[in-house]
A and B are shown apart, each in its own frame.
Chain A
Amino acid sequence: MAATVPLRRTEPAVSPVSAGSPVSARTWRETAQLLAWVRGRGQVLVPVHAPNIQVEDSLDHMLRYRFTAGRSAIARVWAIRLWQDLQTGATVPSQVQITLPGGQTATAWPSTNPAYDAGIGVYVEPLVSKGGSVENVTLTIKRTSGAAPVRVSSVGCWELPRVVLAESPVDMGADLDGLRPGLAVYDDDYQSIGGVVRGWAQTTPQRVMWSQTFPELGVSSTSLTDLFSLPVPVLPPKTTRSATTYSATWNVRARVSDVATSGTVQITTGRAGNTDTIAVPVGATSHAWLSSSMIVLDCEVPDAADGLPGASSFETVQVAVKASGGGTVYVESVLLET
């Protein structure tokens, strides 16, 4: 049976585990199945957002993302929603080419009636290696025919679930065949209770809380200027029994307008007012992901029905920018992840 990944999670009960009683094979087995579920069902890499990028020429329009990939994924799903405007002069419908980060291409015909049509393009990107590392990826969209302007109205990406995990240091699958009633328990990699214990010791769920790209936003003010119309609701998971906060990773992709200008990007949390800054180097006139930094957020409360840390109170973040040196600072992507 190997380490198959179940569609539904298990919920191994602790009540049968008590002093003087043996731990049943069922409990061990459900714990191993849950390990495969957590490691194999995949995570969201880009929460769905509205880039609102307009494609009205045959040039490449690049959407930039950054994330820490799951270790076990072998394919990703990109969900992309496009629409085209046939009412403002253009009458020839447009066709676009989508190039996934792995180089795979697909042709799409954007919706002409998004008020009624809920269609969305779903594209699977097979991976050539397993992840676990930070990746900077680019999704490219260009118009290949037609005249109507095309708008990218939503983009999201998540990992395609695995069917079975390998018994390997990367996947850490625990063989379910060795966790049946009547079999001896022993300590070995990927086998019996040794596989379960080692697997969980190397398993921590990941969560990308916010990953948004947009037409570059420019700020020339020397005072901090909010980039978003409202603070963005986010919640990291709880990592210890007593934790109430989480130190999350954030980053931006930014540039300055000229060699004399530099900038500062600041993130501020809504609940505690914590702040952190990332510097945009002087003279960095090409967009680039900057050095990641950390921000302390209030974390999820697992025993609350809605998980919120306060009564109907989300943790939020706002990103603000200021320029120095007389020019403009531009930001085109942001990331906040665990």
Chain B
Amino acid sequence: MSTSELVGPVAYSTAELGSGRFVCSRQFRDLVSTANHHADSSAQHRGTWVAPASGPWTGNASEYVPLYGPLAGGGLEVGGLTEATRRWYLFPLLVPYTPHIRADGRGYRLRVWLAGASSDGGTVDFGVAVRTVRPRDWPPYDTAPRLIYSGVTSTTPAPLTSDSGSITMDIGRGLVDAALAKSPERATLTDLGGATTSVAAPQFNVHVFGQTRTSGTSPRLYGLAVHEVIGDD
């Protein structure tokens, strides 16, 4: 929810709040409310992608992000997972980001939109998770924020509804602390031409997983949006 008392900015002129002028408490409350609103609105769209439609494609690019599954010989294959059912794999699309952090140490909430389909009508599942380190297995760990979209059979690309019905993931203080502990500070300058210093840039990665329940069927990813939002208290 908004941290702004007025849930929006209030325009003011600097002359009204300048020297020699009386400033009433209402004006200053408006200023604080505006500041909090602008901080809420600093939430960023961390990832926004939708696959181009298949019709207008020229050239040989795929209309979706292909999933790579293992072959018997240990190799990789585009598309159909011929043997490994009920096993989660990463899609190549990965959303790294440096989170906005609230005053109480929690990250801004994430609002997630996912679009997908089944390659041939077999049943597939999707998952989205926020991690601080490289993932390998699903689930990453019990407390990690995640959304699961199971039982997708349609071959028509469409936005998916998570099993919980939620479109948001809370970024808890523990996860933020873990990101701070595991992410190196990045070298920077104090200003253009200034002294060398470093800045804390905790990094999360938002991963999209897919699995099939039907041999030969592939989950297909057609869109992903990951937006920060101040969210609920």
Contacts and interface: CB of A to CB of B under 8 A. Distances in A.
A120 B96 contact: yes
Main secondary structure of the interface of B (DSSP, over half): mixed
A161 B199 contact: yes
Interface in B8-63: 8-14, 17-19, 24-26, 28-29, 31-63
B57 A217 contact: yes
Contacts of A98: none
A164 to B, nearest CB: 6
Interface stretch (A57-65, A101-109, A227-235): A227-235
B28 A17 contact: yes
A252 to B, nearest CB: 13
Interface residues of B, number: 118
B200 to A, nearest CB: 5
A227 B199 CA distance: 40
Nearest to B157: A229
B135 A209 contact: no
Nearest to B176: A8
A122 interface: yes
Contacts of A129: 192
A73 to B, nearest CB: 10
B222 interface: yes
Nearest to A197: B17
Interface residues of A, number: 122
A120 B94 contact: yes
B144 interface: no
Interface in A219-244: 219, 225-235, 237-243
B6 interface: yes
Interface in A10-34: 10-14, 17-21, 23, 27, 31, 34
Contacts of A201: 12-14
B76 A50 contact: no
A92 to B, nearest CB: 15
Interface in B164-215: 167-168, 180, 186-192, 197-201, 203, 205, 207
Contact of A307 (B14, B226, B229): B229
Pick from B24, B46, B158 the residue with the most CB of A within 10 Å.
B46
B3 interface: yes
Contact of B36 (A11, A86, A120): A11
B156 to A, nearest CB: 10
Nearest to A235: B227
Nearest to A23: B28
Nearest to B73: A87
Nearest to B166: A306
24 contacts: A9-B100, A38-B38, A43-B42, A47-B45, A48-B96, A49-B47, A50-B51, A53-B61, A74-B189, A75-B188, A81-B93, A113-B68, A113-B76, A115-B68, A153-B94, A154-B93, A156-B97, A161-B199, A163-B188, A163-B197, A197-B14, A233-B113, A240-B11, A307-B231
